[in-house]
Every structure is written in structure tokens, then in C-alpha cells.
Structure 1
């Protein structure tokens, strides 16, 4: 009787973004069952695990680097993940969160927390991570191995690229997606 091969470990996180890429991941539907036969999701907003393990085979980051918390998480993922995937346009280019790069941070905060608020307008100071200037894509702060563009990328794209990574192949991202798709 042979021992089954150990499953690859996968961790995901969303940084500054809308979580649409994780929703596309969930759109794998019945393929999620096939996926869990091949991998163990050890950290993700989709599971209960709250601590990123010391060693992870594949890390997937969605969202841009917009705060000190995002920066810390991206660095931790890079340190602990053998393969790091940048998932979606926010992670790949900065996308919508990076739109604030064209304005002074003080103006953005005033607009969001004072000008457009009717009840107790004030800029939050507790339990809010410090914002960074400028907002950056993930590869602006750590090395990334695989880039998956899309807003969000389709479940088909995610499935194709993850299947290659799990099989130990270098994915041909341009064969399954392109910027603006």
C-alpha cells in the first residue's frame, strides 16, 4: 500500500481591493472539490486558519499595497511562500486603489471622512492601519513569480494557471488571459 503524496499548501490573502478575485476563485464551483484533493488551504479569508505557516508552497495575494498592514502581509507572504502569485489587476497594477496616488493623502482623507460625512465627521485614528503613499502593486514591494491580470480574472483563468503551478509547470498566462480582458 503506497502512501499518498503530500498535498501542496496554499495560502491566500486580500490586501487593498474589493475581494472580487477571491469571489472568482470561489466560482471554480465543483472544481473546488478537485482542488482540495490536490492542495491544503492553510491560510485564507475563506478558511478559519488565522496564522500564516512558516512554509507555504503557493501564496496568492489579491489587492494592492496601500497600508502598513498590506506591506507587512506582502513581505510575510514573500518570506514564507515558495511561489507567490499576484492575483488580479489591483495586485498586478495597483488599479482602483492606486487612483488616490494622484492626490495628496490629506485631501483623500478629508474627502472620505469629513466632506462626505454628516454624523461626526472625523479622520479615524485608532484601529486603522497607516496608509502608504504611493499605493503600489504587489511587485512594487516584493518579488512575484506569477502575475494573473483581470478585474477580476475569470475562474477559468485561475483554474488553468493554478493547475499548471500545482503540476510544477510554469504557466503561460498569456495563453489564458491578457490585460484588459
Structure 2
């Protein structure tokens, strides 16, 4: 039987949700018997394959044009798309930026702070993309099939969701699998 192909990526995120994936601990050995991680920021497989994957996992909010494109590409490639963590599901702490004008945030972050360089320039990079006017949850950009909230979500919720998918079932997260901190 062919292994289930999984691709993961993080957007505007702290990496905590990907660490929760690693927190499934020794069960990851069992998992890799059934799945192939085709790309992930926590591996050396950084560039997703052009062909499709069975499961796409996105963590983090969408705050730049680059992140918006990453989310759209993942949706195009993935049969099932999972938004993992409060930032991906709700926009999370990243949406605090939405209370301020985008240019004001860039000016304060890169020009007016004590830690900025003497030139006081806002970095511009095509690779990073341009900041969006407002930070969004993933489902505001693309269709999401499964939402796993938490900051970060507990490893047991990720393990449950992945094992349910391997059994051909859509996971239904119950209260004991969610965090409310």
C-alpha cells in the first residue's frame, strides 16, 4: 500500500505547532511507516513537490502576499488541508497587527525601535512578499477541511487527527483533545 503523502508549511507563526507535531515522540516512528513527509520546514525537505499530496498542514496566520501564495499552492496540491494552531485557525496573536495601520507597524518595527540599524530602512524582499493590509486566518484565504486549534495544539490532537485520516475517517476533535489556555 502506498504511503500517505504529507506536506507541511508555516506562515506567520512561531514554530510551536510544528514542535507539537514532533511532540508525538516515539509515535513518529509508527507514523512514518504509513506516511511520507514530502516537505516541511522542520526537515531538509523545504521545497514542496509540484505534484499533489494527500494531506497539507498549514500553521500560522496569513500576513504577507508570499504567505497568501503559499496557502493557495498548498490548497491546490492537497486533497485535505488542515489548519493547525490558533494563528492558522483564528489568526491568533498575529492579528494584533490589525489594530494599526500597516505602514505604522513597519515604521515602528524597523525605523523607530532602539534595535534598528543606523540606516533605518524597512526591508523589502520579493521572497518575503509584501505585508497585507490585515492579517488573516488561513480559512479567509483558502478552503480548510480540518481545523485544529490550540497555542500550540497538544500533540495528542495532532496524533488523533493523523491516525483518523490514515483510517479513512475525518477526525472530530472532542474537548479532551483541545486546549483552552
TM-score (structure 1 length as normaliser): 0.92
Deviation at 1:118, TM superposition (A): 4.7
Asked whether the 8 Å contact 2:154–2:179 carries over to 1, the reply is no
Report the counterpart of residue 86 of structure 2 in structure 1.
89
Report the counterpart of residue 68 of structure 2 in structure 1.
71
> For residues 42 and 98 of structure 2, what CA distance do their matches in structure 1 show?
30
Task: State the SS of the aligned residue for 1:74.
Answer: helix
> For residues 44 and 116 of structure 2, what CA distance do their matches in structure 1 show?
37
Asked whether the 8 Å contact 2:61–2:136 carries over to 1, the reply is yes
Report the counterpart of residue 103 of structure 2 in structure 1.
106
TM-score (structure 2 length as normaliser): 0.92
State how 1:1-181 maps to structure 2 within 5 Å. Answer: 5-53=1-49, 54-116=51-113, 117-120=115-118, 121-126=120-125, 128-178=128-178, 180-181=180-181
> For residues 31 and 173 of structure 2, what CA distance do their matches in structure 1 show?
19
Task: State the SS of the aligned residue for 2:174.
Answer: helix
Relative to structure 2, which stretch is displaced further, 49-58 or 10-19?
49-58
Asked whether the 8 Å contact 1:15–1:63 carries over to 2, the reply is yes
Task: State the SS of the aligned residue for 1:58.
Answer: strand
Superposition CA RMSD, Å:
1.4
For 1:37-90, what per-residue CA distance to the aligned partner results, in whole angstroms no more than 9, with x for missing partners?
010000111222233221100000000110111100100010000000000000
Asked whether the 8 Å contact 1:17–1:90 carries over to 2, the reply is yes
Tell me, which stretches of 5 or more residues in structure 1 are unaligned? none
> For residues 60 and 176 of structure 1, what CA distance do their matches in structure 2 show?
22
Deviation at 1:114, TM superposition (A): 1.1
Asked whether the 8 Å contact 2:13–2:61 carries over to 1, the reply is yes
Task: State the SS of the aligned residue for 1:47.
Answer: coil
Aligned length: 177
Relative to structure 2, which stretch is displaced further, 78-87 or 51-60?
51-60
Asked whether the 8 Å contact 1:160–1:176 carries over to 2, the reply is no
